[in-house]
Amino acid sequence: MKRLNLLNRLGVILSISLALSVAAYGQIAVKGETVWTMAGEPIKNGVVLVKDGKIEAVGAAAQIKIPAGYRTISAKVVTPGLIDSRSVVGLNGYLNQPHDQMALDGSGTVQPELRAIDAYNTEEKLISWIRSFGVTAIHTGHQPSALISGQTMIAKTIGKNVDDATIVPTAMVAVTIGDGGLAGQGRSPGTRAKSAAMLRAELIKAQENAAKTEAPKDLRSVIMMRIIKREVPLLVTAHRAQDIITVLRLAKEFNLRIVLDGASEAHMVLNEIKASGFPVIVHAPMMRAGGETENASMENASKLKAAGIPVALQSGYEGYVPKTRVILFEAGIAAANGLSFRDALATITIDAAKILGVDSRIGSLEQGKDADIAMYDGDPFEYTSHCTGTIVNGVLASETIR
């Protein structure tokens, strides 16, 4: 009993997850001393009205009358719900046990047909963990550990089942060029050149299939044709500069839609990336450097931004611990290493939404968009600030002070 009191005094109650069943969509007025809408200048003493899961209105408190019956929640700083642009959460669980790690199937090195939605666990504890820091949407899926490991998806951080949570069921197909994509143990691809050759062979087959009057209907051919028809982009993890250049070479040959992922050495090939027009979902600034990521820099995001390249941040894939990084913390490190506060926040809100192609729904606080909102008791990036609440789809999905 004494121990319980201690916990209470500390304000660290394990988990106050609000019963999500309480009224599907509430009517909420979020008041913020500073509201970063990410669509225009931040609003001092702003209000965001939420109705039926959408943002009803945003503006200065003086201009917006809070209707009767709205639950009012106040916070020092209000931002759009955070977006993690590259994660494996939901496929990989928080247990380092084979049965809880589903972001990689080891039976093949080319498996673009594997759908993320078939493995996404909405009950995964890491989802509620990141939600308690303000994350409302994640681009998650198969991990960067095979030449083509499978598909990715975009989901909200609540949802009673995968269909309920999903925004985009097949967002991209995950490709890895470099050490991470090698099969090892004498299997192919065993080298970088072999990786490129195998990928080219797949893409040529897809071109040929797409030209047929009767296209094949097997799972792999279908998704590969969607790639070659530019309906689905490739999310290509490439860390070394040489691997990034290989990606650009293949993209040109096959006229592919590419989103660069990881890109530790992006700061060494900024001009080439800029010329390609491809966006970069750059590695977590706190990613540990070593091996092919040895030249990673905490300033990578700011250098990409300064070069005019669209950039978003990711939590990425961690094989060990932490089981997931928290995108809020990563953006803080980026903000301490060259990015302005606003630009750092953009890498986990509106710029992330644009790169993921979902900016019509999420990424900023604008009328008509999904009511995904994060609230903080101070500068969101400060180590000692707290997320005081997270609203997803108009529902107060977390009010743990964390």
- In the complex, the residues that contact other proteins under the rule CB under 8 A are 3, 6-7, 9-12, 93-98, 101, 125-126, 129-130, 265, 267-268, 286, 288-291, 294-299, 319-326, 329, 332-333, 335-337, 381-386, 402
Smallest Cα–Cα separation from 334: which of 315, 359, 350? 315
CB of 385 to other proteins, least distance (A): 7
Report the distance separating Cα 357 and Cα 171, nearest Å.
Answer: 9
C-beta of 171: minimal distance to other proteins in Å?
A: 23
Q: Report the nearest approach of other proteins to the CB of residue 362 (Å).
A: 23
Going by DSSP bridges, is the β-strand pair 280-282/28-35 parallel, antiparallel, or unpaired? unpaired
CA proximity to 103, closest of 92, 93, 114: 92
Which residue number, 104 or 168, has a Cβ lying nearer to other proteins? 104
Q: Which of 68, 57, 67, 61 is nearest to 44 (CA)?
A: 61
Pairing of the two strands 148-156 and 166-168: antiparallel
Q: How many C-beta atoms surround the C-beta of residue 156 within 10 A?
A: 25
Yes or no: say if 277 and 163 are a contact pair by the CB < 8 Å rule.
no
By beta-carbon proximity to other proteins, the closer residue of 172 and 244 is 244
In the complex, the smallest distance separating the C-beta of residue 271 from other proteins, rounded to whole angstroms, is 15
Least spacing, CB of residue 400 vs other proteins, in Å? 11
Q: Which CB, 113 or 379, lies closer to other proteins?
A: 379
Residue 241 tokens, joined? 């500069």
Minimum Å gap between C-beta 100 and other proteins is 9
CA angle 14, 20, 24 (to 5 degrees): 160
**Nearer to other proteins among residue 258 and residue 328 (C-beta):** 328
In the bound state with other proteins, the residue whose beta carbon lies nearer, of 52 and 294, is 294
Q: Where are the beta strands (DSSP E) in 142-185?
A: 148-156, 166-168, 173-177
Nearer to other proteins, 10 or 68 (CB): 10
CB of 375 to other proteins, least distance (A): 16
Question: In angstroms, what is the minimal distance from the CB of 306 to other proteins?
Answer: 13
Distance CA 139, CA 279 (A): 15
Between 69 and 184, name the residue whose CB sits nearer to other proteins. Answer: 184
- Closer by beta carbon to other proteins, 26 or else 380: 380
With beta carbons less than 8 A apart as the criterion, state whether 258 and 264 touch: no
Count of other CB atoms within 10 angstroms of residue 216: 14
Distance in angstroms (rounded) separating the CA atoms of residues 217 and 225: 10
Q: How far is the CB of 369 from other proteins (least distance, A)?
A: 28
Decide: 237 and 181 in contact? Cβ < 8 Å: yes
- Amino acid identity for residue 151 in this structure: Q
Cα 14 to Cα 106, 181, 326, distances in angstroms: 36, 39, 18
Taking the least distance from each CB to other proteins, the nearer of 3 and 217 is: 3
CB of 345 to other proteins, least distance (A): 13
Q: What is the 3-state secondary structure (H, E, C) of 233-252?
A: CEEEEECCHHHHHHHHHHHH
